[in-house]
Chains A and B, each alone.
Chain A
């Protein structure tokens, strides 16, 4: 899929990432990764462990340097972290001495903006992720799912265009995970952000995405980009529908053919 300049938020062309190991030899984590993401699109990246999907996300977030290749965000080359990005990792990594509100306002503090000007938005986000009434609680008083919701609100508080999520629900139990998926789609629908989400769950990747980037390991590269034509808004019943099953089966077959049966 090719996009016009204005519609394109991420443009990655031939991204390579090579690590030098302690033994002195190089490990290729990513090889010739190219894709683009349109504004407002929900793209998921799926692949077995070691396929470099987290590395790719860290390069997009500007916290890891690419070895070579072109990468632009909103037309500007990525050469470090950007204020226009919100990130969510697998661990919520909230600061335990800050309340829910104070944790949500962390990006505002980091950007040295006045908290008062953003308090209302933070409050609205806390409500949006379903934590109404928990504003002044400390992370130690929340469940894992609730902590991850705080992390999502935190990633949106500075109103970034792009939300990067690295296995955000990987540590949650299956039922919480399903409801968090639905909630994420609702939040995405309300905020109209561009979302790029990394997961190792094929059904999760298909359920959430407009497009699924399928990666294969050693070296990490894109082996396929699949358009998911399921209607929106999505519901959990769709998981049992035939088109959903077709997509999941296609990706699974793909991994099996690569010998990555653990995926």
Chain B
């Protein structure tokens, strides 16, 4: 990156932080000046106190790990199935015409609507949440894998065939690696959706997790406590998104910065 570019970036980060400070400060001031009741909108300072108290008592930590485990397990299961089926569809075009329509039909079902059924089937424990998360994480990875496997230029395939490559060799040497940037776009979408999936599952029926805790605190009108959980959830989402991006940069290292921006958009 050029010196000019890094200076611009620093200015942007500085502005971004300033905006955050102004927003939180304005919020705090507004709550105090207009004496907004804490059960409507809590002051940022109250949210921070609830956050610290929740972390100190270990309550937030315990529930965090439950939700985090559901997100990771569901993501791995859903993304894994999505990738595997995407690869099968890429290998056998017949599947795309026979199986894929049903996959799309399943995707059009709102997962929130089937969540209660999944809870009945898999119980109030972690399993049902993992399943719900997996059904949500599945599709973006599947769709992007299928598109990615088609992204190989025709000339590339012709060239490899001219060098006596088999269908399998073309797949392994060209189509699969060429699909990886697309797969990562799917993974990035899926990881963020996975957090939503776990929370939705916990709303429907759970005995632990941050979504469960949100319902509990909402019930007790502990708004500052709910906001504290929201902070943890968004940090979880951002953290996982950054993790996927870091792995992406490692794996699909040949995609340059300009391309990266489009893909991350």
Contact = CB atoms under 8 A, between A and B. Distances in A.
Nearest to A106: B163
Most buried by A among B153, B162, B253: B162
A82 B162 CA distance: 7
B159 A81 contact: no
A249 interface: no
Interface stretch (A17-25, A56-64, A210-218): A56-64
A110 B177 contact: no
Contacts, number: 55
A93 B173 contact: no
Interface residues of A, number: 27
A91 B162 contact: no
B156 interface: yes
A52 to B, nearest CB: 16
Given A63-B158, A93-B153, A95-B173, A87 B254 contact: no
Contact of B163 (A58, A87, A95, A97): A87
Contact of A82 (B156, B159, B164, B165): B164
Contacts of A62: 162
Interface in B162-188: 162-165, 169, 173-174, 177
Chain B: number of interface residues, binned into ranges: 10 to 19
Contact of A97 (B156, B165, B169, B254): B254
Interface string A118-141: 000000000000000000001110
Interface string A138-158: 111000000000000000001
B183 to A, nearest CB: 14
Interface string B65-105: 00000000000000000000000000000000000000000
Nearest to B161: A63
Contacts of B153: 91, 93
A81 B162 contact: yes
Nearest to A155: B163
A91 B156 CA distance: 9
Contact of B156 (A81, A93, A107, A138): A93
Interface of A: 58, 61-63, 81-83, 85-87, 89-91, 93, 95-97, 106-107, 109-111, 138-140, 158, 164
7 contacts: A89-B158, A95-B177, A97-B253, A106-B173, A109-B173, A110-B160, A140-B254
Given A90-B155, A97-B252, A110-B160, 11 more contacts: A63-B162, A81-B162, A85-B162, A91-B153, A95-B173, A106-B173, A109-B173, A110-B163, A111-B163, A140-B254, A164-B162
